[in-house]
């Protein structure tokens, strides 16, 4: 059964869908930061499953469009790390209070962004990419916000390489996370139905954001990525402190 959504929640979801798509197409990462809070207002039980399902069309489209630019060694390292991170994330979902998970992971993201802002030059070497994939798997499975760690690692890479590599990573990660979420009993039919109800807004956002990626590639990409990652870390931390 689909949960009841009050008018305020529906209004926020209506704004978040195209807004999230516009940000997501350009930076390849902003979807979760916009839609996850909206879904949290509508019904916390919709997370992370509905957000994971809804983001699938975006990530598949991006991975196909810019597949020629994928950093294959980086992707393989990230994917390997994500396998372990997803397993840990699924374990945390059933073993640790949600607030404690959010505070820990959100704090780690904020620290990573701070180190980047003060001049830390993180290159996507295999060990670093593996670690980012691990953290992405944990955060993606527990909260559907799996992009910030990867954003920090790939912040200095060309836009097409960043978007294509992370999009392919997210496609694989989504499958892993959905399987894990289902295995611990957090995936229901109504999660998919709710995602389908939000799909029209997703398509509108994809269409309206075609030109944003070119603008961000010209020097705005790194600030946008760091702002996204920092805001996501703060959001996750506050949500944990407040018990959301």
Task: Break the chain into its structural domains and give their ranges.
Answer: 7-241
- Whether the predicted pLDDT of 186 surpasses 50: yes
> Measured between alpha carbons, how far is 147 from 235 in angstroms, rounded to an integer?
13
Mean pLDDT of 38-49: 73
pTM over 0.85: no
Q: Are 21 and 58 in contact (CB under 8 A)?
A: yes
Neighbours of 13 (CB within 10 A): 20
CA end-to-end span of the chain, whole Å? 22
Which residues fall within 8 angstroms of residue 219, CB to CB, at 6 or more apart?
A: none
Q: Are 37 and 29 in contact (CB under 8 A)?
A: no
Q: Looking at residue 30, what is its pLDDT?
A: 56
Strands in 53-103 per DSSP E: none
- Whether the predicted pLDDT of 74 surpasses 90: yes
Out of 77-91, 139-153, 182-196, 217-231, pick the least confident.
Answer: 217-231
- Whether the predicted pLDDT of 116 surpasses 50: yes
The pLDDT tens digits for 196-242 are: 888 777 677 666 655 555 555 556 766 776 777 778 778 778 877 87
Q: Is 76 exposed, middle or buried (0-12, 13-18, 19+ CB in 10 A)?
A: middle
Helices and strands in the chain: count of H runs, count of E runs: 11, 0
Q: Are 207 and 174 in contact (CB under 8 A)?
A: no
> Measured between alpha carbons, how far is 243 from 44 in angstroms, rounded to an integer?
11
Per cent of the chain over pLDDT 90 is 17
Joined together, the tokens standing for residue 84 give: 């372990």
Q: Are 27 and 225 in contact (CB under 8 A)?
A: yes
> Measured between alpha carbons, how far is 181 from 168 in angstroms, rounded to an integer?
20
> Measured between alpha carbons, how far is 152 from 158 in angstroms, rounded to an integer?
13
SS3 39: helix
Mean pLDDT of 63-71: 87
Q: Looking at residue 235, what is its pLDDT?
A: 78
Report which of 42, 18, 32, 4 is spatially closest to residue 210, judged by C-alpha positions. Answer: 18
Rounded to the nearest 10 degrees, the angle between the axes of helix 159-183 and helix 126-143 is 50
């Amino acid at each position: 059964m689909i949960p009841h959504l009050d008018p305020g929640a529906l209004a926020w979801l209506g704004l978040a869908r195209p807004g999230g798509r516009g940000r997501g197409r350009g930076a390849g990462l902003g979807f979760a930061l916009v839609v996850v809070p909206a879904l949290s207002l509508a019904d916390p039980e919709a997370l992370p499953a509905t957000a994971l399902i809804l983001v699938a069309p975006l990530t598949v489209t991006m991975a196909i469009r810019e597949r020629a630019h994928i950093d294959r060694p980086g992707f393989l390292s990230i994917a390997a790390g994500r396998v372990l991170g997803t397993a840990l994330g699924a374990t945390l979902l059933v073993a640790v209070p949600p607030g404690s998970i959010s505070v820990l992971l959100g704090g780690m993201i904020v620290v990573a962004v701070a180190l980047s802002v003060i001049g830390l030059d993180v290159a996507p070497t295999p060990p670093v990419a593996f670690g980012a994939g691990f953290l992405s798997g944990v955060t993606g499975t527990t909260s559907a916000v799996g992009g910030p760690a990867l954003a920090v690692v790939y912040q200095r890479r060309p836009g097409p390489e960043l978007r294509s590599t992370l999009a392919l990573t997210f496609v694989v990660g989504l499958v892993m996370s959905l399987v894990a979420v289902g295995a611990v009993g957090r995936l229901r039919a109504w999660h998919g139905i709710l995602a389908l109800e939000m799909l029209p807004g997703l398509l509108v956002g994809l269409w309206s954001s075609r030109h944003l990626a070119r603008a961000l590639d010209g020097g705005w990409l790194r600030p946008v990525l760091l702002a996204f990652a920092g805001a996501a870390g703060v959001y996750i931390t506050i949500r944990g402190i407040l018990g959301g």
